[in-house]
């Protein structure tokens, strides 16, 4: 029997990735992560800002692909 999987939304992926990355960054570099909204990033996209313990900052945008 084939199991139905719940459709992943940008919001759901953002939440799951933020939690995961927050744990990894805290353990490895003393850093943290937060959503674009929490960080005050002015964009219409969902995404995550990564703060690395050494002062570096990265942004990851989450946009659903329209392919296939």
Is position 7 within any domain? no
- The 3-state DSSP class for residue 15 equals helix
Q: Is residue 14 part of a domain?
A: no
Q: 1 or 6: whose pLDDT is higher? A: 6
Domain count, the chain: 1
Please write the tens of the pLDDT for every residue from 39-63. 999 999 999 999 999 999 999 999 9
Domain housing 44: 30-68
* 8, part of any domain: no
Whether residue 2 is contained in a domain is answered as: no
| Gap between the Cα atoms of 21 and 62, Å rounded | 14
* Residue 9 resides in a domain: no
Q: Is residue 12 part of a domain?
A: no
- Range from 5-9, 10-14, 15-19, 61-65 carrying the lowest mean pLDDT: 5-9
Q: Is residue 23 part of a domain?
A: no
In the chain, pLDDT over 90 holds for what percent of residues?
A: 81
Residue 55 lies in a domain: yes
């Amino acid at each position: 029997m084939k199991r139905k999987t719940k459709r992943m939304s940008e919001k759901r992926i953002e939440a799951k990735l933020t939690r995961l990355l927050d744990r990894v960054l805290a353990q490895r570099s003393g850093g943290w992560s937060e959503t674009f909204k929490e960080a005050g990033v002015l964009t219409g996209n969902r995404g995550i800002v990564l703060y690395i313990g050494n002062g570096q900052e990265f942004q990851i945008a989450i946009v659903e692909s329209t392919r296939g």
